C-alpha cells in the first residue's frame, strides 16, 4: 500500500526535524511523467505528448545563513551530500544525485546571479523509480529549483523556468531535450500535454475515460547520467550529423541552415519523413559509418562534422537515415495521437503507439531484450497498445488497457512477465497512473 499524501507529508516533516533539528519552511512536490508518444523528438525541436503521473519527488527545505547546501534523502540509496553555493560548483561523481541539485543552482545562478540564492537544508523523498524513463531526474531538478527559489523568495514564471531547467539538466552531461521539465511544471490534472519547442509552448489535451494507462517496469534500470548516457548522447549526435549532411544534400533548395531536424518539418511541411531518409540512404552506405567516411562521401569537412558529434572517438560509427526516419515519422504520429486522444479514439491511439514502439526499436534502436519481452507479454495479456516510454535502453513501458480489461490485464502481465523473475520479488513494478497536476510549492 502506498502512503497517502497526508502520511507522506507528516513523514517528511518529522524526518526533516530529526535530520536538521528544526522545521522546514518550504515543501515542494514535483511529479514524474510518462510519455504517451513522441520519443526522442524533443531535442530535435519536435512535439511530444506526455502526462504527469501520480508519483513524485518531495522536498522539504529551510534556509541557512551561510552559503552551505546540505542534502539528505529518506532513501538509503542516496547518501547525504554537502556543497557550497556557487555558479560553478565542483560536481560530485558522474550520476550522483547531488549533481541534479547543483544543476538547479547553476541554472538559477545564470538567471538571478548566485547572490540571489540562499544556502539551505534539503530533505528528499520520492516514489518515481529512478533510471526508468519516468523522469525522476527532472522531478528532482525541478523540485530543487522550486525549493531554492522559495528559500530566496524569488519567482520565475513556469514556462521560463521549464526552459531554464531543461538547459540546466544538460549540466549533468546528458544532451537531453525539454519535455520532462516542461510537463513536470506545466501539467494539468486529467490531461496530457502537447508540448512544442522553439519556442516552448504547452497545450493540455483532456484524457477521456475508457482506458487505463498502465506503466510496467522492465526490471532493468537505464541511468541517463550513467551507463545509458553514451547511447543517449550518440542518438543526439546522429541527429545533428544528419542535419549537416542534409544541408549539403538539399543544397540550394534549403533556405537556411538547419537548427535541428524539426526545421525540416517546418521548412517542408508537405514532404514525408521517408523522403529525407531516402536522400541519406542514397548518399551513405547501409551500415554505421565513421565521421571520416561521411565527410568523404558527402564532401563536407571532417572538422565541421566532428563538432556535431559530442566529442565521440574518431572510430565511433553513426547511423543516420533510420534515425531521421524515426524522428520525423514520430513527430507526425504525435499530431495524429493528439487528435485520437481528444476524440477518445483508443483504437487509433493504440495503433500509433504500437507504430511508435516499432520505430523506436527498428529505426532508433533504443529498445532492449527485456523491453521487447515486456511489450510482447503486455500484448498477450490484452493491452490495446504497449510501447517503451522515455529514453529506452531499459526502464518502463506504457500500456493502454481498455478499462473493463484492467483487472485481467494486471493478473496476466504478472504471470507472463514478473512471476518467473527473481528480480521482481518484493517490489511493485506495475503502476496504473492518473494524469496529475504539475509541481507545487507550499510555504509552511
Ligand atoms: P530517469 O529520469 O529516467 O528516471 P535518469 O538516469 O535520467 O533517469 O535519472 C536518475 C537519477 O536521478 C538517479 O540516478 C539519481 O541521481 C536521481 N534521482 C532520481 N530520483 C531520486 C530520489 N528520489 N532521490 C535522489 N535522487 C534521485
Ligand atoms: P528519460 O528517459 O525519462 O530520462 C529522456 C530525456 C527526454 C527525452 C526522452 C526520450 C532526460 C532528462 N530526458 O527521458 O528529454 O529525450 O529521453 O523521448 O534525459
Residue nearest to atom 15 of ligand 1 (CA): 97
107 close to 147: Cβ distance less than 8 angstroms: no
- Looking at per-residue pLDDT, the higher value among 314 and 43 belongs to 43
pLDDT of residue 179: 98
- The Cα–Cα gap between 202 and 185 comes to 10
Find residue 414's DSSP bridge partners.
none
Does any ligand 2 atom lie closer than 6 A to the CB of residue 180?
Answer: yes
C-alpha 135 – ligand 1 centre gap (Å): 7
pLDDT of residue 304: 85
Question: 226 pLDDT band (50/70/90 cuts)?
Answer: confident
pLDDT in tens, 237-267: 999 999 999 999 999 889 899 999 999 999 9
Does any ligand 2 atom lie closer than 6 A to the CB of residue 363?
Answer: no
Which residues contact residue 61 at a Cβ distance below 8 angstroms, ignoring those fewer than 6 apart? 24, 25, 26, 27, 28, 120, 121, 122, 123, 147, 148, 150, 151
C-alpha 42 – ligand 2 centre gap (Å): 8
Residue nearest to atom 13 of ligand 2 (CA): 176
Residues with CB under 6 A from ligand 1: 57, 73, 75, 78, 95, 97, 100, 124, 126, 128, 130-137, 140, 223-225, 390
Mutate to test the pocket of ligand 2, among 32, 144, 176 (most ligand atoms within 8 A of CB): 176
Beta strands 201-206; 191-196: pairing state = antiparallel
Question: In ligand 2, which atom is closest to the CA atom of 179?
Answer: 15
pLDDT of residue 311: 64
Locus of grid cell 526499436 = 361
pLDDT of residue 165: 98
C-alpha 135 – ligand 2 centre gap (Å): 7
Catalytically active residues are: 180
Of 68, 67, 96, 36, the residue nearest 397 (C-alpha): 36
Instruction: Give the ligand with the smallest distance to the CA of 77.
Output: 1
Question: 310 pLDDT band (50/70/90 cuts)?
Answer: confident
Beta strands 68-73; 120-126: pairing state = parallel
Instruction: Give the ligand with the smallest distance to the CA of 125.
Output: 1
pLDDT in tens, 169-222: 999 999 999 999 999 999 999 999 999 999 999 999 999 999 999 999 999 999
Of 368, 397, 243, the residue nearest 307 (C-alpha): 243
Instruction: Give the ligand with the smallest distance to the CA of 127.
Output: 1
2 close to 295: Cβ distance less than 8 angstroms: no
34 close to 51: Cβ distance less than 8 angstroms: yes
Does any ligand 2 atom lie closer than 6 A to the CB of residue 169?
Answer: yes
Torsion of CA 209, 33, 332, 228, to 10 degrees: -140
59 close to 143: Cβ distance less than 8 angstroms: yes
Query: Averaged over 67-75, what is the pLDDT?
Result: 98
Low-confidence winner among 65-74, 310-319, 413-422 (lowest mean pLDDT): 310-319
pLDDT of residue 233: 93
Question: 415 pLDDT band (50/70/90 cuts)?
Answer: very high
Locus of grid cell 498502465 = 214
pLDDT in tens, 1-15: 788 999 999 999 999
Does any ligand 2 atom lie closer than 6 A to the CB of residue 176?
Answer: yes
Question: The dihedral of CA 243, 388, 188, 336: what is its sign?
Answer: positive
pLDDT of residue 312: 66
Torsion of CA 162, 168, 172, 174, to 10 degrees: 60
Amino acid at each position: 500500500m502506498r502512503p497517502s499524501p497526508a502520511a507522506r507529508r507528516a513523514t517528511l516533516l518529522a524526518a526533516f526535524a530529526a535530520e536538521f533539528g528544526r522545521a522546514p519552511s518550504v515543501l515542494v512536490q514535483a511529479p514524474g511523467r510518462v510519455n504517451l508518444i513522441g520519443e526522442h523528438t524533443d531535442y530535435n525541436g519536435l512535439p511530444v505528448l506526455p502526462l504527469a503521473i501520480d508519483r513524485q519527488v518531495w522536498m522539504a527545505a529551510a534556509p541557512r545563513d551561510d552559503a552551505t547546501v546540505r542534502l539528505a534523502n529518506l532513501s538509503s540509496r542516496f547518501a547525504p551530500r554537502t556543497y557550497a553555493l556557487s555558479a560553478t560548483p565542483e560536481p560530485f561523481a558522474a550520476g550522483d544525485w547531488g549533481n541534479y541539485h547543483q544543476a538547479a543552482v547553476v541554472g538559477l545562478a545564470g538567471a538571478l546571479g548566485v547572490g540571489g540564492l540562499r544556502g539551505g537544508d534539503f530533505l528528499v523523498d520520492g516514489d518515481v523509480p529512478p533510471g526508468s524513463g519516468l523522469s525522476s531526474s527532472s522531478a528532482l531538478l525541478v523540485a530543487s529549483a522550486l525549493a531554492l527559489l522559495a528559500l530566496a523568495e524569488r519567482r520565475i514564471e513556469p514556462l521560463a523556468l521549464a526552459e531554464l531547467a531543461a538547459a540546466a539538466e544538460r549540466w549533468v552531461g546528458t544532451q537531453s531535450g525539454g519535455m520532462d521539465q516542461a510537463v513536470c511544471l506545466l501539467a494539468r490534472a486529467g490531461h496530457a500535454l502537447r508540448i512544442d519547442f522553439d519556442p516552448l509552448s504547452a497545450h493540455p489535451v483532456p484524457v477521456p475515460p475508457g482506458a487505463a494507462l498502465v506503466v510496467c517496469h522492465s526490471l532493468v534500470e537505464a541511468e541517463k547520467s550513467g551507463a545509458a548516457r553514451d547511447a543517449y548522447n550518440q542518438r543526439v549526435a546522429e541527429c545533428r550529423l544528419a542535419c549537416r549532411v542534409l544541408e549539403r544534400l538539399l543544397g540550394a533548395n534549403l533556405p537556411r541552415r538547419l537548427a535541428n531536424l524539426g526545421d525540416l518539418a517546418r521548412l517542408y511541411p508537405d514532404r514525408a519523413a521517408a523522403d529525407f531518409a531516402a536522400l541519406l540512404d542514397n548518399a551513405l552506405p547501409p551500415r554505421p559509418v565513421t565521421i571520416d567516411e561521411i565527410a568523404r562521401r558527402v564532401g563536407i569537412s571532417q572538422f565541421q562534422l566532428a563538432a556535431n558529434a559530442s566529442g565521440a572517438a574518431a572510430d565511433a560509427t553513426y547511423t543516420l537515415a533510420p534515425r531521421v526516419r524515426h524522428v520525423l515519422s514520430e513527430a507526425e504520429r504525435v499530431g495524429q495521437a493528439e487528435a485520437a486522444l481528444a476524440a477518445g479514439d483508443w483504437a487509433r491511439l493504440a495503433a500509433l503507439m504500437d507504430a511508435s514502439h516499432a520505430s523506436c526499436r527498428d529505426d532508433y534502436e533504443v529498445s532492449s531484450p527485456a523491453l521487447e519481452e515486456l511489450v510482447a507479454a503486455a500484448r498477450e495479456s490484452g493491452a490495446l497498445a504497449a510501447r517503451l516510454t522515455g529514453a529506452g535502453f531499459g526502464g518502463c513501458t506504457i500500456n493502454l488497457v481498455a478499462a473493463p480489461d484492467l483487472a485481467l490485464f494486471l493478473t496476466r502481465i504478472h504471470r507472463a512477465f514478473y512471476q518467473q523473475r527473481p528480480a521482481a520479488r518484493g517490489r511493485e513494478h506495475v503502476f496504473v497512473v492518473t494524469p496529475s497536476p504539475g509541481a507545487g510549492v507550499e510555504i509552511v
